């Protein structure tokens, strides 16, 4: 079986839905951000703060290369991983890419009380979300399957993903 790769904006539920998918399919979940934090022994926040976004993106690309060598796994990526074509090419080669979607308002609600997203630590986070989403949409649309996550539980979404993958074959 090919890998299943979750992409999508911050707060679209990639990690949670990845967990659900892994459990349903009995597969391992690899969360790229968690692996980066483990490798660097530092939070994503601190990597941004002390080394900047450019350094983070370089480590992210290396980590995507590394985890893409695994087989039969669910891979959950950070929301900006799609911005580099090299990352998308690597991910698409090893598996089926699923993009999770949500409205800017839902994204704000889901990310609002977390301090863990350096890119959203701004005065007007909803404006920032809108701006980033608009810019990133063409990148997210490179996915094989797009899934709307509004008003569905992680389990329902995971089941929908499994169904859609089955129908692709
Ligand atoms: C980012 C998303 C984050 C994390 C980093 C940058 C982005 O991951 O990789 O803060 O550029 O959208 P999540 O999508 O898991 O929050």
DSSP notation for 14-34? HHHHHHHHHHHHT-EEEEHHH
Tokens of 87: 């990352």
* Ligand 1 pocket member 43 (CB < 6 A): no
Q: Do 36 and 59 form a contact (C-beta atoms < 8 A)? A: yes
The answer to whether residue 86 scores a pLDDT higher than 80 is yes
* Ligand 1 pocket member 117 (CB < 6 A): yes
| Closest Cα to atom 4 of ligand 1 | 78
Q: What is the mean pLDDT of residues 97-111?
A: 97
The answer to whether residue 113 scores a pLDDT higher than 80 is no
Phi, psi angle pair for 79, to nearest 5°: -60, -25
Question: Which ligand 1 atom minimizes the distance to the CA of 36?
Answer: 9
Whole-prediction pTM: 0.96
pLDDT band at 115 (very low <50, low <70, confident <90, very high): confident
Helix (H, G, I), strand (E, B) or coil at 103: coil
In angstroms, the CA 24 to CA 72 distance is 13
pLDDT for 157: 98
C-alpha atoms less than 13 angstroms from C-alpha of 79 in its C-beta half-sphere: 22
Q: How far is the CA of 169 from the centre of ligand 1 (A)?
A: 31
Q: Do 100 and 149 form a contact (C-beta atoms < 8 A)? A: yes
* Ligand 1 pocket member 18 (CB < 6 A): no
| Number of other residues whose CB lies within 10 A of the CB of residue 40 | 16
Pocket test for ligand 1, best of 80, 83, 121 (most atoms within 8 A of CB): 80
Q: Which helix (H) or strand (E) holds 156?
A: helix 154-168
The answer to whether residue 4 scores a pLDDT higher than 60 is yes
CA distances to 142, 161, 164 from 167, rounded to whole Å, are 19, 10, 5
| pLDDT tens by residue, 35-59 | 999 999 999 999 999 999 999 999 9
The answer to whether residue 150 scores a pLDDT higher than 70 is yes
DSSP 8-state assignment for residue 169: -
Pocket test for ligand 1, best of 119, 121, 131, 140 (most atoms within 8 A of CB): 119
The answer to whether residue 112 scores a pLDDT higher than 90 is no
pLDDT for 1: 52
pLDDT band at 169 (very low <50, low <70, confident <90, very high): low
CA distances to 14, 40, 77 from 62, rounded to whole Å, are 20, 12, 13
Tokens of 51: 């080394």
pLDDT band at 127 (very low <50, low <70, confident <90, very high): very high
Pocket test for ligand 1, best of 14, 15, 33 (most atoms within 8 A of CB): 33
| pLDDT tens by residue, 26-37 | 999 999 999 999
């Amino acid at each position: 079986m090919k890998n299943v790769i979750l992409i999508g904006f911050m707060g679209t539920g990639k990690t949670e839905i990845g967990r659900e998918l892994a459990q349903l399919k009995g597969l391992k979940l690899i969360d790229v951000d968690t692996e980066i934090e483990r490798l660097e022994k530092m939070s994503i926040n601190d990597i941004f703060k002390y080394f900047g976004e450019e350094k983070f993106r370089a480590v992210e690309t290396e980590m995507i290369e590394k985890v893409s060598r695994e087989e039969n796994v669910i891979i959950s990526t950070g929301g900006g991983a799609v911005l580099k074509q090299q990352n998308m090419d690597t991910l698409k080669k090893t598996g089926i890419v699923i993009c999770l979607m949500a409205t800017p308002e839902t994204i704000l609600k889901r990310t609002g009380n977390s301090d863990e997203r350096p890119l959203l630590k701004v005065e007007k986070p909803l404006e920032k979300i809108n701006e980033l989403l608009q810019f990133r949409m063409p990148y997210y649309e490179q996915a094989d399957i797009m899934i709307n996550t509004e008003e569905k539980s992680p389990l329902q979404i995971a089941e929908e993903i499994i169904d859609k993958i089955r129908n692709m074959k």
